[in-house]
Structure 1
């Protein structure tokens, strides 16, 4: 049976988590997957951890010669994807055993203009002794249009892409001030929703691990890139609105759009 989906794992010094992420792919009820692990020039034991899995012909391991950041690393992997669908799995996160089976079954029934399928996410935190600190389930939702998505302040979980659509926009953009190193999810989603529809199913499909090494702990950078990404999208979408922002618990979110005054001829 020919594979329909590639799991793409970007990793940088995530050796302590990488084995668990890979294992959740091997435990999928859908077995005809492909897996591409792209190492962004890690300096830890990531290569040694991934090596035992390379005996499986479904697994490809790639390593950047230098550290280039998350978005560019994802694009290295995307260039090697040959399946109709591709899904991102961060090296410190997990799939449920049924994740790929459920997403593929849904994807087969979707029209061509659906370029992304998502579900719900479980966010967990494990304390130093190994116990579960919290487990929060976040439900996603559907969106009327790109402005509805913009105002939702949401990402998508997991991100199950139609490969042809993702490649048609050039993959993950890296034209921001940090060259794609941060918030690669919202950057690509804001581009993607310009050309396709998002489809949501009300099923938990992804487990996100919260820990002190998460990039999202860099709140100052994420405030900056969030505002930059929103203003950049609005400019591309016709420059008709000014965003209204609000700070909440150190983060920044968009709460409204104000029409720009029409210029007099």
Structure 2
């Protein structure tokens, strides 16, 4: 198919949530997709047994012989992608029925595509926690293409992207890999590096994705007092501040150094 999306789901977790993710893909109004589940040797083989028996040509199920870790699994996903576009979806997130149609219609010449998302809890109820209210405020108010220092500075003031909801131009994404040194910020590094290299983003105000945020998610656990998110954020944004200065992006460098919303978020997480 000329324009299609490889929807890749790195899997480690509860089967019932994965099934909701898969069902949301099967419910797409477009047929221009192929789904691949990459099982990182999860101890419970319920998902493996279920999808192997399903015998659906639209679904490929790969199970690693041993656990390789979330970031290495993301890199495996990049290597596996072969369609013109791809996305790496969380194994508890959900696509709304028009996601594929809308992404393929609007991405155009952009290197990656970010729709507006709904936030859901562990019961799939839509809600809007404080962190996502802030993201919503920071996001552009209208659809369109963004690039360069303006985009980099905006994302450093507060990262309003939702990595699992992004559609990538596969040829562009394959030029990069996720740094296995990081557990939480690996996507930010790729996104900001791509922008430095000239990549453009199409932001779409149409809501076509449901991002699940709840206490048991990896990112939520790592935000706690003993978590690593904020340590990673300081290191990563300080490094990018230096990189932005080197190429003359002074506004982006200041935004990365200040990382205002990250500091506020870190402070509030202590209580």
Whether TM exceeds 0.5 here: the answer is: yes
**Is it true that 1:102 corresponds to 2:98 in the alignment?**
no
Q: Which of the residues 212, 222, 228 maps onto 2:229? A: 222
| Count of paired positions | 240
Whole-angstrom distance in 2 between the partners of 1:65 and 1:251: 41
Q: CA offsets per residue over residues 60-113 of structure 1, 9 Å max, x none?
A: 112223322222102212212111100121100100000010000112xx22xx
**Who is 1:65 aligned against?**
65
Partner deviation per Cα, 1:12-54 (whole Å, 9 max, x = no partner): 123231111011111100113111111112112331243244x
CA distance in 1, matches of 2:215, 2:58: 32
In the other structure, the counterpart of 1:118 is 114
CA RMSD of aligned residues (A): 2.6
- Say which structure, 1 or 2, has more relative contact order (CA 8 Å, 6+ apart): 2
Q: 1:101 to 1:248 in 2, by over 3 A?
A: same
Kindly provide the CA deviation profile for residues 102-143 of structure 1, in whole angstroms up to 9, marking residues without a partner as x: 000112xx22xx2111111111224xxx58373567643256
- d(CA) in 1 for partners of 2:209, 2:185: 18
Q: Report what 1:237 is aligned to.
A: 244
Equivalence for 2:47: 46
Distance 2:43 2:170 in 1: 30
Structure with the largest fraction of helix: 2
User: CA 1:245–1:210 in 2, change beyond 3 Å: closer, same or farther?
Assistant: closer
Gaps of 5+ in 2: 141-145
* Pair 181,50 (structure 1): closer, same or farther in 2 beyond 3 Å: farther
- Give 3-state SS (helix, strand or coil) of 2:65's partner: coil
Distance change >3 Å, CA 248–CA 229, structure 1 → 2? same
Q: Distance in 2 between matches of 1:213 and 1:149?
A: 26
Query: Does 1:183 find its partner at 2:185?
Result: yes
Q: Take 1:131 and 1:73, find their aligned partners in 2: how far apart are those partners?
A: 25
Matches of 2:240 and 2:14 in 1, distance apart? 31
Q: CA, structure 1 residues 131+116, in 2 after alignment: closer, same or farther (shift >3 Å)?
A: closer
Alpha-carbon contact 2:185-2:236 (below 8 Å) kept: no
Q: What is the rounded CA distance, in whole Å, between the counterparts of 1:56 and 1:133 in structure 2?
A: 30
- Once the two structures are TM-superposed, the CA of residue 249 in structure 1 deviates from its matched residue by 4.5
**Which structure has greater strand proportion?**
1
Out of 113, 132, 151, the residue aligned to residue 125 of structure 2 is 132
Please tell me whether the aligned partners of residues 93 and 209 of structure 1 are also in contact (alpha carbons under 8 angstroms): yes
Q: In 2 relative to 1, CA 231–27 (structure 1 residues): closer, same or farther, beyond 3 Å?
A: same
Deviation at 1:189, TM superposition (A): 1.3
Q: TM-score, normalised by structure 2?
A: 0.78
Which residue in the other structure is 1:201 paired with? 204
Aligned residue number for residue 262 of structure 1: none
Equivalent position to 2:171, from 164, 177, 185: 164
Deviations 1:173-198 (A, max 9, x none): 32xxxx24323332321222222011
Separation in structure 2 between the aligned mates of residue 93 and residue 145 of structure 1, nearest angstrom: 26
